Structure 1
Amino acid sequence: MRKYTPKYTRPGTGRLRKSTEKLSLLTARLKDLFSFRRKKIQTVAVARQQKWQIGHFSKKGGLVILACIAVLACGVYFRQVLQKSDIFRLSTLSVQGNQQVKKAKILDLGGIEQGVNLLAFDTKRSEDAISKHPWIESVEIERSWPSALTIRVHEYRPLAMINIDQENDRGLYYVDRKGRVFAKVEKGHELDFPVITGVDSIEKVTGTVIAGTGLAAEAFRFIRLASRGNPIIPLQTISEVNVSPGKGIIVYLVDRPFPIYMGFDGMQTKYYQLVKLLDRLYRKKKLQEIREIRMDYFKNRILVAKVES
């Protein structure tokens, strides 16, 4: 069915439509204008609020900084006052653990004296200074407020001595249980230790650890085995352990004049083989007949040479 279209329209209908469109366009423009003004007003308000907040926080931050400066100044002032006060002056002093190094020497090295103010005292610097003594392995300094100080010293414990024969350093040096060469043997020091001989040169004597590799390490390994307290070859029976580039390790006992050739390696196995051999010779009372013992003759073979009669 065809749609009906009126042939004529009412007069004035097109004008009304145009007026309506103009009114709508004007309304839209007014809305845009008011919306823009509203956004502008909001932007200005936000900017003012941010400016106020920045100023507020700036004032608050300034006050905080001033307060911190005032507290710091007060702290410095009171610290200076306390440093001059007698409350924190050292009156009780204890030194523990020292046997070789005298108390007066430790205090002198650490710059410690009665009456020093503990607030101004630098414990780390004092510990470093005391630790430079060759006999001192480590040191701890503890403050007990308000006026006491405790110094705990850990000294090296010698296990053997080593004879150094080189131009710059000649003489006997102590070796601790870790194989570290730490101090030269001075007059009046204890000498009842085995001596490692035949070491011609060490790049740096004190501080060198010989318990690594090489003949000196094998010699020290033999001494360590003897230090375990075996009754047949205790540490006290060893007089000298010689290091020979051509013959290896040669051991001399205190009460026996004959040499014991241990070879170049395998010290642990050879040490216990030697213990069994000497035990048997002790019980048979044949040690006086021995000229030398060779633990390096053949593998798992021992050569015992007797004195010719």
Structure 2
Amino acid sequence: MKKKPKKSRSVLKKQAIKKRKRKPSSNRWRVTRLLFSFSLKFSCLLAGLVLISLLFLYLYENLLTSPYIRLERVIVRGVDEKLRHTLLKMSELKPDTSLLAVHLDELKQRIEKHPWIRSVNLEKRFPHTLVIKAEKEKPCAIVIMGNMHYMNRWGKIFRRVDMTAHMDFPLVTGISKNGSDREKQLQWTAHVLRVLEAENGSLSLAQLSEIHVEKSGQISLYFLSLPAVIELEGPQLEEKMEDLKRLVKHLKRTGRIQMVKRINLNYREGAVVSYKNDGVVS
């Protein structure tokens, strides 16, 4: 009776060994099943993305040919009628173009190549309108540098002067042909012009005849209403302006303004006035 349990134990051991031997194949099957499930899900996701992309392309192609967003009206603001026609020609926009197909960055670059255009802002107004807001260059002076060129209030030379065009602007002389020197001189000139824009009377921009600019930064100002040349360093004019106005007012009141040859502002305190008879007063 005691020997029978031994046999049952040996049978149980054999079954346990068989179960243990089945584990590797069971694990492989589980891994294979997981990989298959992942591959299936990924394939479904990829197929879904492809279908969405194809649907988007189909809709986009239909929109490009749709009459509901066709470009029918172009509004150009900020320029006169003659320049408006020129800008429309430069834009190369076709009447049957879809508003969706208009690339604003490319169009902006094309229009801003015009020498009289400083900047352009574009706006699409669906379904049929494109708005072009152009800022036209405004000459502030004429730079003599071999030829004559218009310069704006920021010191940028933007166009050669047509001899038949309007030329009632102050002249800028002494500008160097060297790039770095020229840039500095133009910036000093622009600073002077902006200071004089805020003035009235004999020292206003309207009365300025010529600005002569040296490489060193020395600037000479010639005004229509003053017989004297005013000398100063480029950045000094703004801080010296009130002193200069008081000095000119004093010279006019004392009747000596017509005798003045030069007013030199290159001094920390006050100015030096040179007279035509070689007299100097500081």
Scaled by the length of structure 2, what TM-score is found?
A: 0.78
Cα shift at 1:253: 0.6
Distance 1:298 1:50 in 2: 88
- Does 2:179 match 1:198? no
Residue aligned with 1:280, SS: helix
The aligned residue for residue 259 of structure 1 is 229
Distance 1:100 1:267 in 2: 39
| Structure 2 CA distance for partners of 1:96 and 1:141, relative to 1, 3 Å | same
Query: Over residues 167-188 of structure 1, what are the superposed CA-to-partner deviations in whole Å (9 max), with x where a residue is unaligned?
Result: xxx2223132x32333333355
Distance 2:25 2:44 in 1: 29
| Structure 2 CA distance for partners of 1:286 and 1:64, relative to 1, 3 Å | same
Residue aligned with 2:45, SS: helix
Identity within the alignment, %: 22
The aligned residue for residue 303 of structure 1 is 273
| Structure (1 or 2) with the greater helix fraction | 2
The correspondence of residues 13-32 of structure 1 with structure 2, limited to 5 A, is 31=13
CA contact (8 A) 2:189 2:234 kept: no
The aligned residue for residue 140 of structure 2 is 159
- Does 2:123 match 1:142? yes
Cα shift at 1:240: 0.3
The aligned residue for residue 237 of structure 1 is 207
**Corresponding letter in the other structure for 2:174:** G
The aligned residue for residue 173 of structure 1 is 150
Query: Over residues 16-55 of structure 1, what are the superposed CA-to-partner deviations in whole Å (9 max), with x where a residue is unaligned?
Result: 9xx9xxx6xx959964x55453344344334323323433
**Corresponding letter in the other structure for 1:65:** L
Distance 1:42 1:35 in 2: 11
Query: Among residues 98, 102, 106, which one is paired with 1:117 in the alignment?
Result: 98
Distance 1:235 1:293 in 2: 18
Cα shift at 1:77: 2.8
Distance 1:148 1:228 in 2: 40
Query: Over residues 45-81 of structure 1, what are the superposed CA-to-partner deviations in whole Å (9 max), with x where a residue is unaligned?
Result: 3432332343344334333333333333333233223
The correspondence of residues 64-79 of structure 1 with structure 2, limited to 5 A, is 64-79=45-60
The aligned residue for residue 186 of structure 1 is 162
Query: Among residues 42, 56, 78, which one is paired with 1:61 in the alignment?
Result: 42
Structure 1: unaligned runs, 5 residues or longer: 1-15
| Structure 2 CA distance for partners of 1:37 and 1:179, relative to 1, 3 Å | farther
Residue aligned with 1:199, SS: coil
The correspondence of residues 45-60 of structure 1 with structure 2, limited to 5 A, is 45-60=26-41
The aligned residue for residue 4 of structure 1 is none
Distance 1:35 1:126 in 2: 80
| Structure 2 CA distance for partners of 1:109 and 1:28, relative to 1, 3 Å | farther
Residue aligned with 1:112, SS: coil
The aligned residue for residue 82 of structure 1 is 63
| Structure 2 CA distance for partners of 1:27 and 1:162, relative to 1, 3 Å | farther
Residue aligned with 1:87, SS: helix
- Does 2:194 match 1:224? yes
Distance 1:173 1:203 in 2: 17
Cα shift at 1:242: 1.0
The aligned residue for residue 287 of structure 1 is 257
Residue aligned with 2:167, SS: coil
How many residues are paired up? 276
Distance 2:267 2:76 in 1: 54
Cα shift at 1:115: 2.9
Structure 2: unaligned runs, 5 residues or longer: none
Query: Over residues 270-305 of structure 1, what are the superposed CA-to-partner deviations in whole Å (9 max), with x where a residue is unaligned?
Result: 443322111222334443333333445896341230
CA contact (8 A) 1:232 1:275 kept: no
The aligned residue for residue 6 of structure 1 is none
- Does 2:73 match 1:103? no
CA contact (8 A) 2:202 2:226 kept: no
Distance 1:264 1:135 in 2: 28
Q: CA RMSD in A?
A: 3.6
Query: Among residues 269, 275, 278, which one is paired with 2:245 in the alignment?
Result: 275
